[in-house]
Amino acid sequence: MDRIKWEEYFMAQSHLLALRSTCERLSVGATIVKDNRIIAGGYNGSVSGEVHCIDEGCLLEDDHCIRTIHAEMNALLQCAKQGVSTDGATIYVTHFPCLNCTKSIIQSGIDTIYYAEDYHNHTYALELLKQAGIEYKKISFDQEHVAQYLLNK
């Protein structure tokens, strides 16, 4: 049997991370990769030590949960905390990044975004990515196909 492709492998990691999400509205995972090595991962959830949305519900303001840190930000902050450079890295995200995460990704030096699902793809985010010369691409992710690698071992 063939080995799993890199894109499938890293996107599968993002989907696994999304399983840790504590958001009731949407589970998102993000994996930051450099030189085909995972340097960080994140999922959307509460600030460390804070209650979780799955326990007490979302804390909504203007129809947005203000308790939740997005998966992309958690992954970027993990790199910052550990002193790991994201310059020239790639991020794999289960869903297209929101506008604020897009701006943070641009500022971090990440040069490629792969995502599995569209999610309110903000037109200004798309414009910023184009201006910054950042490649972004929707890639298909088939959980059953990836599961076959596990079942056939």
Catalytic residue check, 117 = no
pLDDT of residue 153: 64
Is residue 109 within 8 Å of 76, Cβ to Cβ?
A: no
Which regions of the chain are under pLDDT 50? none
pLDDT of residue 1: 55
pLDDT of residue 102: 98
Give the helix/strand (H/E) hosting 151. helix 143-151
The tokens for 49 are 């030590």
The residue ranges of DSSP E strands in 4-143, in sequence order, are 29-34, 37-43, 45-46, 60-61, 64-65, 68-69, 90-95, 112-117, 135-138
pLDDT of residue 63: 85
Q: Out of 24, 56, 61, 72, which one is annotated catalytic?
A: 72
pLDDT of residue 152: 78
pLDDT of residue 64: 85
Is residue 90 within 8 Å of 33, Cβ to Cβ?
A: yes
In tens, the pLDDT along 31-51 reads 999 999 999 999 999 999 999
Report pTM. 0.94
Is residue 5 within 8 Å of 30, Cβ to Cβ?
A: no
